[in-house]
Amino acid sequence: MKIVTWNVNSIKARLPIVINWLRENAPDIVLLQEIKCENSAFPSEFFEDLGYNIALHGQKTYHGVAILSKLPIEDVVRGLPDFEDTQSRYIEALVGSMRVSSIYVPNGQEVGSDKFHYKLSFYKKLKAHMKKSLEAKEIAIWGGDYNVAPFLADGPNEEAFKGERILTSQKEREAFRELLWLGITDAIRVQYSEESLQGQHLFSWWDYRANSWAQNKGFRIDHLLLSPQAADRLESAGINSEVRALEKASDHAPVWIKLR
């Protein structure tokens, strides 16, 4: 069972790249973020042709999340429960015996700004929802763009973690780690420890600006978080960073896991 999360930064702009990647990698479940279109504008037929069922929580111009699955999709939840939000950032569904979520956490723009506080409140509600979900003892996978680089190995250098920068500030990293403290597993980090050679520079996002990709100045901000029942079945995990080098690439690469 292969599951991937990918912030595509507009599904319409990314359609050929995404379709090709799905054809070559054939994941069973695809969690998309930043589709940047309303449900009615989503190019569903291209994905249906590849055998995917589709659940959408879209929005025009900004945000928008989706779940694609070769197995039937049931019990769809749109929007983070108990969180008033005009932005489409959360969708959850039952796929077979698995509960899967596609999450686009607010960027926060600047530490201390209104958007930053919105980001922290999103995290607070996400934590509450995850805590409740864990009680069901299901195989649960929360994948998405968390807009936080949790550990020092998840950025280009120590400098990137100094001061109060967005993606790496103390408050953001703590908000993310609080999810882990619930008993949740960060799939990439459990496969590749911070100390290991392979664990270095496992980035999922490179800014379009400042020649970040060419210099490999990226961050690991896209994560697949697993309930204990899912973590017990974790076989392998990885990031397809080579996709970032393609013409017209998203600024994010796909992050995947295989579960037994």
Q: Which is nearer to DNA, 63 or 189 (CB)?
A: 63
Task: Please tell me whether residue 12 binds DNA under the rule CB under 7 A.
Answer: yes
Binding footprint of DNA, residue count (CB under 7 A): 19
Reported as type and span, the H/E element at residue 187 is: helix 187-191
Contacts with DNA in 79-108 (CB under 7 A)? 106-107
Q: How far is the CB of 2 from DNA (least distance, A)?
A: 25
Residue of the chain from 16, 49, 109, 137 that contacts DNA (CB under 7 A): 109
Six-digit token string for 188: 């990439």
Six-digit token string for 149: 């680089």
- The total of other beta-carbon atoms located within 10 Å of residue 146's CB is 28
Q: Active-site residue numbers?
A: 104, 145
Give the CA-trace dihedral at 107, 113, 115, 119, to 10 degrees: 70
Q: Interacting stretch for DNA, rule CB under 7 A, among 6-14, 42-50, 92-100, 186-194?
A: 6-14
CA distance 194 to 244: 22
Residue of the chain from 20, 51, 115, 246 that contacts DNA (CB under 7 A): 115
- x/- string (CB under 7 A) for DNA, residues 34-63? --xx---x------------------xxxx
Q: Which is nearer to DNA, 61 or 97 (CB)?
A: 61
Q: Interacting stretch for DNA, rule CB under 7 A, among 5-13, 48-56, 149-157, 227-235?
A: 5-13
Task: Please tell me whether residue 117 binds DNA under the rule CB under 7 A.
Answer: no
Amino acid at 170: Q
Kind of pairing between the strands at 234-239 and 73-78: unpaired
Q: Which is nearer to DNA, 106 or 254 (CB)?
A: 106
Q: How far is the CB of 178 from DNA (least distance, A)?
A: 21
CA distance 108 to 222: 15
The answer to whether 173 and 146 have CB atoms below 8 angstroms apart is: no
Six-digit token string for 231: 């973590």
Instruction: Tell me how far apart the terminal alpha carbons of the chain are, to the nearest angstrom.
Output: 6
CA distance 2 to 155: 26
Which residue shows structure tokens 């769809």? 76
Q: How far is the CB of 134 from DNA (least distance, A)?
A: 28
User: How large is the angle between the packed helices 170-180 and 114-134, nearest 10 degrees?
Assistant: 10
Which of 257, 252, 260 minimizes the C-alpha distance to 104?
252
Measured at the alpha carbon of residue 142, what is the angle toward residues 140 and 143, in degrees to the nearest 5? Answer: 135
Task: Please tell me whether residue 13 binds DNA under the rule CB under 7 A.
Answer: yes
Q: Interacting stretch for DNA, rule CB under 7 A, among 7-15, 50-58, 121-129, 170-178?
A: 7-15
Contacts with DNA in 118-157 (CB under 7 A)? none
Q: How far is the CB of 103 from DNA (least distance, A)?
A: 13
Q: Which is nearer to DNA, 237 or 239 (CB)?
A: 239
Residue of the chain from 74, 208, 216, 245 that contacts DNA (CB under 7 A): 208
Q: Write out the residues near DNA by the rule CB under 7 A.
A: 9-10, 12-13, 36-37, 41, 60-63, 106-107, 109, 115, 208-210, 248
